[in-house]
């Protein structure tokens, strides 16, 4: 049977919990991608936030080479650190534009993170006082 990923279950749980904040902040779920989905000996855990092109352009209007963009670099680095500290995993977080992400990696698997918890939060019944 194929595994969904090769991460320890408690770490995936903690990663999903930490991704709720990203979902709330950006309105889109981050995705687990890369080698940790495919093999046991992954180097790092790739998490990507794929934004619609217009939202990406609004955040990063002058981005042609993301690694040379200070705003993109500090946001991605900060979120990588946040996710690493909350999950205990070596997380590499990046924000990508949808068209570019689909063109380069559209044939690769993506697993949305934190959706179970977001759905549970949205489906909660108001408490009666």
The model carries a pTM of 0.86
Please determine, for residue 74, whether its predicted confidence score (pLDDT) is greater than 50: yes
Task: Identify the structural domains of the chain with CATH numbers, from first to last.
Answer: 9-120 (3.30.460)
pLDDT bracket for residue 34 (50, 70, 90): very high
Average pLDDT over every residue of 56-83: 88
pLDDT tens-digit profile of 102-118?
999 988 899 999 876 44
pLDDT, position 128: 47
- CA dist 31 and 91 (Å) reads 12
pLDDT, position 69: 85
pLDDT, position 107: 87
- CA dist 87 and 93 (Å) reads 13
**Residue 55 or residue 127, greater confidence:** 55
Please determine, for residue 6, whether its predicted confidence score (pLDDT) is greater than 70: yes
Q: Write b or e for each residue in 43-79: b if 16 or more Cβ atoms lie within 10 A of its Cβ, otherwise e.
A: eebbbbbbbeeeebeeebeebeebeebeebeebbeeb
pLDDT bracket for residue 129 (50, 70, 90): very low
pLDDT, position 77: 97
Please determine, for residue 127, whether its predicted confidence score (pLDDT) is greater than 50: no
Q: Quick one: which H or E segment has residue 57? A: helix 53-59
């Amino acid at each position: 049977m194929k595994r969904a990923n090769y991460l320890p279950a408690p770490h995936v749980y903690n990663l999903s919990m930490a991704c709720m904040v990203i979902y709330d902040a950006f309105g889109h779920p981050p995705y687990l991608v890369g080698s940790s989905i495919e093999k046991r000996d992954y180097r790092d855990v790739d998490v990507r936030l794929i934004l619609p092109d217009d939202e990406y352009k609004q955040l990063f209007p002058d981005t042609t080479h993301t690694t040379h963009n200070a705003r993109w670099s500090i946001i991605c680095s900060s979120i990588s650190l946040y996710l690493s500290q909350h999950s205990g995993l070596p997380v590499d977080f990046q924000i990508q534009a949808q068209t570019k992400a689909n063109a380069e990696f559209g044939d690769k698997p993506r697993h949305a993170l934190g959706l179970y918890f977001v759905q549970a939060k949205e489906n909660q019944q108001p408490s009666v006082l």
